[in-house]
Amino acid sequence: MLNDIIGCLKKPPLYTKTKGEFWNDEYISKQMLKAHLNPEFNGASRKLKFIDKSVDWIKEIVPSTDYPLLFDIGCGPGIYAERFCKQGYQVTGMDFSKRSINYARNSALKKRLDIAYLYQNYLDMKLYKVFDFATMIYCDYGALSTIDRKNLMCKIYQHLKPSAKFLLDVFSVETYNSFQEMQTWEICNDGGFWREDGYIALYGHYKYSNSVTLEQTTIISNTNTATYYLWNTCFTKETLIEEAKEAGFKVCEVFGDIAGEPYHRGSPTIAILLEK
Ligand X SMILES: C[S@@+](CC[C@H](N)C(=O)[O-])C[C@H]1O[C@@H](n2cnc3c(N)ncnc32)[C@H](O)[C@@H]1O
Name the site residues for ligand X (rule: CB under 6 A). 23, 44-45, 74-76, 79-80, 94-97, 100, 121-123, 137-138, 140
User: Least distance from C-beta 206 to ligand X, angstroms?
Assistant: 20
Least distance between ligand X and beta carbon 61 (Å): 17
- Cα three-residue angle 91-158-16, rounded to 5 degrees: 90
Return the bridge partners of 165, or none.
Answer: 133, 275
Task: Between 97 and 233, name the residue whose CB sits nearer to ligand X.
Answer: 97
What does R_g of the chain's alpha carbons equal in angstroms?
19
Comparing CB distances to ligand X, the nearer of 78 and 204 is 78
Minimum CB distance to ligand X, residue 231 (Å): 11
- For ligand X, the closer of residues 121 and 210 by Cβ is 121
Contact criterion met (CB below 8 Å) for 130 and 160: yes
- Tell me the residue nearest to ligand X as measured from the CB: 74
On whether the CB atoms of residues 91 and 118 are closer than 8 A, the answer is: no
| Of residues 169, 170, 167, 168, the one with CA closest to residue 62 | 167
CB of 116 to ligand X, least distance (A): 15
Half-sphere exposure of 136 (CA within 13 A, CB side): 26
Look at strands 90-95 and 69-73 and give their pairing: parallel
- In the bound state with ligand X, the residue whose beta carbon lies nearer, of 109 and 230, is 230
Q: How far is the CB of 64 from ligand X (least distance, A)?
A: 18
If the CB atoms of residues 138 and 249 are measured against ligand X, the closer one turns out to be: 138
